Chains A and B, each alone.
Chain A
Amino acid sequence: KNEVEQSPQNLTAQEGEFITINCSYSVGISALHWLQQHPGGGIVSLFMLSSGKKKHGRLIATINIQEKHSSLHITASHPRDSAVYICAVRYTGNQFYFGTGTSLTVIP
């Protein structure tokens, strides 16, 4: 079964805190995406991973293929980071499967 699980479901942090959001999936994948969705609904792709680690500004994404697990880290969090973060995986074929998202609120 192609399941994508994220944790935590909701997260509240103080400005400046280090944040980790986790994603696990059930079978081998060809790619994993971390997406950011703001309250208006639009989605922005943050990272696409198939192995290792990627960094962009204060965001870091890692993936462990053997453990079928990925993490999204936010260093020095800021209120503007408040959004829903969604993990999406692509198995064989062209379809993506999405996690239910992690709602992050960063308090000043």
Chain B
Amino acid sequence: EAGVAQSPRYKIIEKRQSVAFWCNPISGHATLYWYQQILGQGPKLLIQFQNNGVVDDSQLPKDRFSAERLKGVDSTLKIQPAKLEDSAVYLCASSPTGSPTEQYFGPGTRLTVT
């Protein structure tokens, strides 16, 4: 079974630029999560999707961050414009329907904002 795929793996941008990350969850997983992990901290949930609907986006900085999962499969997370404090690893995870306690993580995208 293929795991959660993310791209790119690494990205370096200047502040005020825009960036987008892509995630393809495990086939059949209805729930998809985006996490932000700043160096030295645990992951923080940014947004959770159930199919193509948003379940929780309370910690998403909506003035600059946006995410979509239009067809209920893969998802994109965008930052526009980026700030220095957005430098972090962005992790995507998915859960199978009926098993929300299982989360499978992707390899992450390491973003550096200069």
Contact = CB atoms under 8 A, between A and B. Distances in A.
Contacts of A63: none
Main secondary structure of the interface of A (DSSP, over half): strand
A41 B107 contact: yes
A43 interface: yes
A100 B105 contact: no
Contacts of A88: 42-43, 103
A95 B43 contact: no
A43 B91 contact: yes
A41 B56 contact: no
A96 B45 contact: yes
Interface residues of B, number: 26
B105 A45 contact: yes
B42 A40 contact: no
A100 B101 contact: no
Contact of A98 (B9, B43, B101, B106): B43
24 contacts: A33-B103, A35-B105, A40-B108, A40-B110, A41-B108, A42-B107, A43-B43, A45-B102, A48-B102, A88-B42, A88-B43, A88-B103, A90-B100, A94-B31, A94-B100, A95-B45, A95-B48, A96-B103, A98-B42, A98-B44, A99-B42, A100-B40, A100-B41, A101-B41
